[in-house]
């Protein structure tokens, strides 16, 4: 089946979220301009040319280049797209005070590529499904995505499935979309790249966001080292991980890493919590299927001890 989960880029968030919640994915049309596509493609072209396919799962005929925030200033615009960030906020912020960029990479599927195995992008985290969202993934269409050229295949609703449920061919939807669209999916939705039986490449660009307390799939500190990160807007520094991921998570020398990175002032030295402690305490508890959720309490006052 071809998918109908399409929205225009001026659709209010509250009209998009029920479909994303239910099916695990949506497509936003006209999310970027033709001019942005030209810039992204131009900036990445030398890297893409230097790269062939990688391996079976990643694709022998799929050109994959990572470190996109270091390699393209235009990709920086995509990663901070206001509608995408508002969706990421709605999906991820109930469970973390900050989310991170988890993965950046091209998925340029050349003619002759075979279909990728359906998988969950959250698969490397040993967390039982169904689970709350860990990742919000985006795939930007830098070319048209068609059933013939390898449009992403997804299994609607599979984010609600247990790990042992197997999809059948009839369960699969094909995310056909015109260039300039973006596909967003919750990371536990079963999906995979399609086979390219056409004679042109299908050019996708993946940018994934994950809960701020998870280890990032692509190591953003090596991908965009401090000398480069320092020159980027604060929001992108934060998304890369140059900020606390939760109270006391990710400090350097007992300081907020953004203070360390930007060598601003030292007034927060010794404060590993920033202002996140209260926000942290208000998060939804991350309940894993089959276990009882218990209330969160940072400091067990009954046994005494020093509090900040």
Ligand X SMILES: O=C(O)CCC(=O)C(=O)O
**Measured from the CB atom, is 203 or 260 closer to ligand X?**
203
User: What does 111 interact with, of ligand X, Fe ion, none (CB < 5 to 8 A by kind)?
Assistant: none
Q: Kindly state the smallest distance separating residue 204's Cβ from Fe ion, in Å.
A: 10
What are the strands of the beta sheet with 182-186, ordered from one edge?
6-8, 25-29, 182-186, 135-141, 202-211, 99-109, 62-63
CA gap 102, 219 in Å, rounded: 8
Buried b (16+ CB within 10 A) or exposed e, 213-233: bbebbbebeebbeeeebeebe
Q: Kindly state the smallest distance separating residue 39's Cβ from ligand X, in Å.
A: 21
**Measured from the CB atom, is 158 or 258 closer to Fe ion?**
158
Q: Which residue is nearest to ligand X (CB)?
A: 193
**Measured from the CB atom, is 121 or 271 closer to ligand X?**
121
Residue 133 half-sphere exposure, CB side, CA atoms within 13 Å?
Answer: 30
Judged by CB under 5 A, does residue 110 bind Fe ion? no
Judged by CB under 5 A, does residue 121 bind Fe ion? yes
The residues facing 177 across adjacent strands are 145
Q: 200: alpha, beta or left, given left = phi > 0 and alpha = psi -120 to 50?
A: beta
Q: Kindly state the smallest distance separating residue 292's Cβ from ligand X, in Å.
A: 33
Between helix 82-92 and helix 13-23 the angle, nearest 10°, is: 50
**Measured from the CB atom, is 187 or 274 closer to ligand X?**
187
Judged by CB under 5 A, does residue 217 bind Fe ion? no
**Measured from the CB atom, is 110 or 121 closer to Fe ion?**
121
**Measured from the CB atom, is 70 or 152 closer to ligand X?**
152
CA gap 304, 301 in Å, rounded: 5
Q: Which stretch binds Fe ion (CB under 5 A): 5-13, 60-68, 91-99, 116-124?
A: 116-124
Q: Kindly state the smallest distance separating residue 180's Cβ from ligand X, in Å.
A: 16
What are the strands of the beta sheet with 191-192, ordered from one edge?
173-174, 153-154, 191-192
Q: Kindly state the smallest distance separating residue 194's Cβ from ligand X, in Å.
A: 7
Count of residues interacting with Fe ion (CB under 5 A): 1
Q: Kindly state the smallest distance separating residue 308's Cβ from ligand X, in Å.
A: 40
Max Cα-Cα span within the chain? 69
User: What does 66 interact with, of Fe ion, ligand X, none (CB < 5 to 8 A by kind)?
Assistant: none
**Measured from the CB atom, is 106 or 237 closer to Fe ion?**
106
Instruction: Tell me the helices (H) and strands (E) count for the chain, helix number first.
Output: 10, 10
Give the footprint of ligand X on this chain (CB under 6 A). Answer: 107, 116, 121, 139, 152, 191-193, 204
Q: Kindly state the smallest distance separating residue 43's Cβ from ligand X, in Å.
A: 20
Three-class HEC string of 221-290? HHHCCHHHHCCCCHHHHHHHCCCCCECCECCECCECHHHHHHCCCCCCCCCCCCCHHHHHHCCCCCCCCC
User: What does 146 interact with, of Fe ion, ligand X, none (CB < 5 to 8 A by kind)?
Assistant: none
Which residue from 189, 56, 68, 52 is spatially nearest to 115, judged by alpha carbons? 56
Q: Kindly state the smallest distance separating residue 244's Cβ from Fe ion, in Å.
A: 28
User: What does 152 interact with, of ligand X, Fe ion, none (CB < 5 to 8 A by kind)?
Assistant: ligand X
Task: Enumerate binding residues for Fe ion (CB under 5 A).
Answer: 121
């Amino acid at each position: 089946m071809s998918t109908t989960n399409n929205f225009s880029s001026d659709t209010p968030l509250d009209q998009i979220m029920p479909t994303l919640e239910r099916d695990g994915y949506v497509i936003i049309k006209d999310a970027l301009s033709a001019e942005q596509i030209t810039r992204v493609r131009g900036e990445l072209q030398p890297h893409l040319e230097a790269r062939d396919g990688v391996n079976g799962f990643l694709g022998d005929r799929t050109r994959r280049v990572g470190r996109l925030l270091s390699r393209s200033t235009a990709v920086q615009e995509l990663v901070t797209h206001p509608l995408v960030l508002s969706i990421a906020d709605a999906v991820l912020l109930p469970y973390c005070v900050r989310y991170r960029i988890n993965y950046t990479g091209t998925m340029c599927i050349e003619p002759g590529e075979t279909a990728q195995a359906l998988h969950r992008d959250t698969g490397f985290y040993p967390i039982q499904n169904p689970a709350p969202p860990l990742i919000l993934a985006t795939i930007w269409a830098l070319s048209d995505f068609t059933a013939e050229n390898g449009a992403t295949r997804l299994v609607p609703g599979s984010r609600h499935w247990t790990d042992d449920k197997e999809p059948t061919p009839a369960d699969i939807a094909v995310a056909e979309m015109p260039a300039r669209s973006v596909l967003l999916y919750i990371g536990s939705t079963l999906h995979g790249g399609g086979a390219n039986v056409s004679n042109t490449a299908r050019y996708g660009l993946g940018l994934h966001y994950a809960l701020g307390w998870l280890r990032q799939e692509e190591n953003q500190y090596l991908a965009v080292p401090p000398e480069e990160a320092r020159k980027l807007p604060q929001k992108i520094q934060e998304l890369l991980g140059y900020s606390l991921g939760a109270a006391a998570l990710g400090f350097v020398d007992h300081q907020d890493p953004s203070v360390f990175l930007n060598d601003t002032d030292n007034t927060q030295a010794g404060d590993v919590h920033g202002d996140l402690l209260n926000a942290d305490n208000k998060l939804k508890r991350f309940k894993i299927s089959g276990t009882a959720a218990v209330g969160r309490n940072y400091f067990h006052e009954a046994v005494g001890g020093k509090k900040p």
